[in-house]
Structure 1
């Protein structure tokens, strides 16, 4: 059987097929391809034309951006100046105002670690060492109490730095825990399988807010007097 050589030049000159539908054909095929889809498209378009222009007027053109929040109460649009005035509180929470540079530096360290971790070419031993060093540095910056840094109680942590820290630790622990539970659910050992299924169904079937309320009420009852959960 003869082998036909591949003409690479001819392959390069092949053009993609031309779509003859056009914009009208696309609308007909995707938005008006039947009575139900046509009615649904018209309802959505009516809703957009009725509510979107007034919302844009309220949110942008009639909004108050940088005026005093007390003055902007009289305007007809959104009062974004409240957001700008409280931006530091939104980002840093109750962390002491005069040392906001510390949680900001901690966030920058975390962003750098995430940036280099997203690039495969940086997956070396140096990056593996950088993560524990960076996390310790973040903890020192947030907590203080050493190296001449004023101590800050963790109850004053909040805003974006705390959200990022909880997200990183939560995601880091969730992946291996999920794999262990998945293996435990298909285990041939009845006790391990039962415990894994019970945990999975409990966490998946109960709203998170309910679990948080239950833990805040029930767990302290089993702790010695004077010991609290942060």
Structure 2
């Protein structure tokens, strides 16, 4: 009888490598850039556009740029023919772009404020960080008071610094942070009020939202700066920065309300019925069941509103507040720094700063969407 055991493997053969055409750089290019004739054409057009755009930008921003000013020429260092970006202008006025007119010997107070803000907000941004409730209390209740007295002074021996000395990126972050924190709960309340069955509450919320959405932010800022003091009692005045912040909060809360309302309307009726079947009343149903799901669904819209608010802070320059963009514009008018490219360089710097913060918010939004999706991701 023939022995068949010689034809049976005693060990598994090692797994064969995948075909070279299905892995590596060539496979990625074929799948993502050259999958179809249309994709190939678009890829070629994009490559030609990049080849046309990148070399002159690189030449202006890097190769022909002025990076140092060892002789202290300031604007004269960038007045030669064929000179690119005047980065020495950014270096020379960097403190002004960040801190505005804040006294140089008191800048440490601004730095301490930033450091405390980072320490308090990090536990809120990291999902697995401990002591979230403590961090929330410190950031939303304690930190605003500490930050205000650090900036304004007048206590504990700190020299008073009026708000008209605040400026630059510091003021941009202050306005946007206060606007984001304050407009979010107001917007949620307005969205809930707009769905209320009580006619008075619903009419008030609808009127508030439609009023503030119907006027440009520039008009709101002009009204807050010029018209509002006319309605105040004799001898009573409100700080110009405070008026601008209040106007921005009310303006952005109307847009936030519509974003949240979209999430509330997207919730199926079954969620309400299930909550009522469990014996939950309306406040608990809304706070524990509906709102968490609705806010999760509209994270992109909420972050989009935050980004728009952050960029809209540049509009406060029209009422004489020196945020980042206005400090760049003011520094550009200095005759000592006058050159053919210093203004363009300043705007490039301001645009890059805005892009960094907006891109960071966008990426964090994507991270939170991926973390919170529970079966609804497509």
| Shared fold (TM-score, shorter chain, > 0.5) | yes
Moved more, 123-132 or 167-176: 123-132
CA distance in 1, matches of 2:59, 2:190: 51
- Residue in structure 2 matched with residue 11 of structure 1 by the alignment: none
Moved more, 144-153 or 194-203: 194-203
Shift of 1:147: 1.3
TM score, norm. by length of structure 2: 0.50
Q: CA RMSD in A?
A: 2.9
CA distances 1:73-117 after superposition (whole Å, capped 9, x unpaired): 225211011001101101100111221111111111111111233
- Residue in structure 2 matched with residue 141 of structure 1 by the alignment: 150
Aligned to 2:77, which of 71, 75, 79?
71
Aligned to 2:108, which of 68, 93, 101?
101
TM score, norm. by length of structure 1: 0.79
- Residue in structure 1 matched with residue 62 of structure 2 by the alignment: 60
Structure with bigger RCO (C-alpha 8 Å, 6+ apart): 2
Shift of 1:199: 2.4
Structure 1: unaligned runs, 5 residues or longer: 1-13
Shift of 1:152: 0.8
CA distance in 1, matches of 2:116, 2:47: 46
Maintained 8 Å contact 2:78/2:86: yes
CA distance in 2, matches of 1:215, 1:37: 52
CA distances 1:36-67 after superposition (whole Å, capped 9, x unpaired): 65554443332211121110111012111121
1:216 aligns with 2:218: no
1:123 aligns with 2:131: yes
Structure 2: unaligned runs, 5 residues or longer: 1-14, 240-378
Aligned to 2:159, which of 150, 153, 156?
150
Q: Give the number of aligned pairs.
A: 216
Maintained 8 Å contact 2:124/2:132: no
